[in-house]
């Protein structure tokens, strides 16, 4: 059975096509600048590339082009020959604790949750609706970024704010990157050859967005993102935790509107706000040339991580493993080294040579003295979406 995984953004559509027997990736790609000038389709398949610039006014057309192009390239007989489509959906609120087959009720619930993810959920829905119009017979599955964290206890997910904020406006911590934390925690158990239920781990998803998760026996008990992805760690362009009083202060004295404050905290803060660039590779390169702002950005990034890992170790009561994933987690040896050096209090001992190893394979980076296993595990969110879709569609 072939499963198409879609990540539908406001002006882009990322896809990955799987043959589920043997779980092979047949093709992957990106349709970008939908509804804008210079829209284009990029497809990688079987060692080949196909790139075409073509006007794409909306998501329906984007999907239509994909449905025409995949058979033309000999990758798929026809769009209708798919077994189904799996979608990444950002916000499942309290309604979804696991992946679901999409029906009208599910769509309505994703729509109802739009205030919690005003940019993402409408874009995700556009992808779902485009598939329904093009191939109404295909089963579709939604896999939510928030679902894995629904296991958090009230003391972890409740903000200490008036109860009516939660009751009337659903203000609570939800967490994101759930599919990634779910995947790497399961891979960890496999790699450590231990039952998942016996492992207390902290998983660090460090990409352009970044979050930490405390995973106890395979369940998320705490995570660093909150109502929105803005809370928690320092990220590429997001501030992570700040004093909520700053909002009013900058509104009053900086003369910034609430929308402008929100924009700057999401898009002009984090590494970018401090160093002028959001790419960790560039920060590291500038640090080596003695750039003080880059050094400060790196140090703030690591300092925040130390605080979170320390706190989560205390919450877990015992720490068996620390997992690094996401672009920075998987590839930045300097970030992992700086963090692990500051965590010796937890019994963490890095193997410096293993830490420098490059490549896309999961590998351990602890030395024999370490009380905590340290692992680099490449994440595979699309793979999880494909598998979960296959599982649910197979049940039909
Ligand atoms: P996204 O969250 O957009 O999916 P990624 O998971 O791809 O992002 O992570 C992007 C981040 O990973 C960027 O900050 C980038 O600089 C960083 N990164 C990628 N490769 C390296 C590397 N070799 N060394 C340091 N940082 C890296």
CATH number of the domain residue 70 falls in: 3.30.420.40
Candidates 145, 180, 207: which one to mutate for ligand 1, based on the most atoms within 8 Å of Cβ? 207
* Mean of pLDDT values over 6-17: 96
Predicted pLDDT of residue 22 = 87
What is the residue whose two structure tokens read 């050096």?
341
Nearest CA to ligand 1 atom 21: 331
Which of 123, 144, 165 is the last residue before a domain boundary? 144
At residue 395 the predicted structure's pLDDT band, cuts being 50, 70 and 90, is: low
Ligand 1 centre to CA of 79 (Å) is 33
* H-assigned helices in the chain: 59-72, 104-112, 120-134, 154-157, 163-169, 178-192, 245-252, 258-267, 270-275, 280-288, 292-316, 326-331, 333-341, 352-356, 381-395
Residue 29: strand, helix, or coil: strand
* Mean of pLDDT values over 18-46: 95
Question: How far apart, in whole angstroms, are the C-alpha atoms of residue 182 and residue 199?
Answer: 13
- Note whether 195 and 91 are same-domain residues: no
Q: To the nearest whole number, what is the mean pLDDT of the chain?
A: 97
Residue 210's beta-bridge partner residues?
Answer: 206
Contact call for residues 156 and 222 (beta carbons, < 8 A): yes
Is-catalytic flag, 51? no
396 domain-assigned: no
- Note whether 186 and 332 are same-domain residues: yes
Ligand 1 centre to CA of 209 (Å) is 10
Predicted pLDDT of residue 105 = 98
Closest CA to 305 of 243, 200, 373, 232: 232
- Note whether 246 and 367 are same-domain residues: yes
Contact call for residues 260 and 269 (beta carbons, < 8 A): no
- Note whether 128 and 260 are same-domain residues: no
247 domain-assigned: yes
Candidates 32, 206, 232, 281: which one to mutate for ligand 1, based on the most atoms within 8 Å of Cβ? 281
Counting the structural domains of the chain, the total is 2
Question: How far apart, in whole angstroms, are the C-alpha atoms of residue 381 and residue 38?
Answer: 28
46 domain-assigned: yes
- Note whether 183 and 139 are same-domain residues: no
- Note whether 122 and 189 are same-domain residues: no
- Note whether 315 and 271 are same-domain residues: yes
* Mean of pLDDT values over 320-346: 98
- Note whether 277 and 334 are same-domain residues: yes
Task: Say if residue 396's pLDDT is above 60.
Answer: no
Ligand 1 centre to CA of 307 (Å) is 22
- Note whether 82 and 208 are same-domain residues: no
Range of the domain at 117: 2-144
Residues 69-89: tens digit of each pLDDT = 999 999 999 999 999 999 999
**Is the distance from the beta carbon of residue 336 to the nearest atom of ligand 1 less than 6 Å?**
no
* Mean of pLDDT values over 260-287: 97
Residues 236-251: tens digit of each pLDDT = 999 999 999 999 999 9
């Amino acid at each position: 059975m072939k499963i198409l995984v879609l990540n539908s953004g406001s002006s882009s559509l990322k896809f990955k096509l799987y043959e589920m027997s043997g779980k092979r990736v047949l093709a992957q790609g990106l349709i970008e600048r939908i509804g804008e000038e210079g829209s284009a389709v990029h497809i990688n398949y079987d060692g080949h590339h196909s790139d075409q610039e073509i006007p794409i006014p909306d998501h329906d057309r984007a999907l239509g082009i994909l449905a025409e192009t995949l058979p033309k390239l000999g990758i798929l007989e026809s769009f209708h020959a798919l077994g189904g489509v799996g979608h990444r959906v950002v916000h499942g609120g309290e309604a979804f604790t696991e992946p679901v087959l999409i029906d009208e009720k599910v769509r309505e619930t994703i729509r109802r949750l739009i205030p919690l993810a005003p940019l993402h959920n409408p874009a995700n829905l556009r992808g779902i609706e485009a598939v329904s119009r093009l191939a109404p017979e295909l089963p579709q599955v939604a896999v939510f970024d928030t679902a894995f964290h629904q296991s958090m206890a009230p003391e972890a997910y409740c903000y200490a704010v008036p109860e009516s904020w939660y009751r009337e406006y659903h203000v609570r911590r939800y967490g994101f990157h759930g599919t990634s934390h779910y995947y790497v925690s399961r891979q960890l158990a496999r790699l450590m050859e231990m039952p998942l239920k016996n492992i207390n781990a902290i998983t660090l998803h460090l990409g352009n967005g970044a979050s930490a998760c405390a995973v106890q026996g395979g369940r998320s008990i705490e995570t660093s993102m909150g109502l929105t992805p803005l809370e928690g760690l320092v990220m590429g362009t997001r501030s992570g935790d700040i004093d909520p009083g700053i909002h009013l202060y900058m509104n009053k004295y900086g003369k910034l509107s609430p929308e402008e404050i929100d924009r700057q905290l999401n898009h002009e803060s984090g590494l970018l706000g401090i160093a002028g660039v959001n790419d960790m590779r560039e920060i590291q390169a500038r640090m080596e040339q003695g750039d003080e702002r880059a050094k400060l950005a790196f140090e703030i990034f690591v300092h925040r991580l130390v605080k979170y890992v320390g706190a989560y170790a205390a919450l877990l009561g015992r720490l068996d493993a620390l997992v690094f994933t996401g672009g920075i987690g998987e590839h930045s040896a300097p970030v992992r080294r700086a963090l692990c050096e500051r965590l010796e209090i937890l019994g963490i001992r890095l193997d410096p040579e293993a830490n420098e190893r490059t490549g896309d394979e999961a590998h351990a980076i602890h030395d024999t003295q370490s009380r905590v296993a340290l692992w680099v595990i490449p994440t595979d969110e699309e793979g999880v979406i494909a598998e979960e879709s296959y599982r649910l569609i197979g049940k039909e």
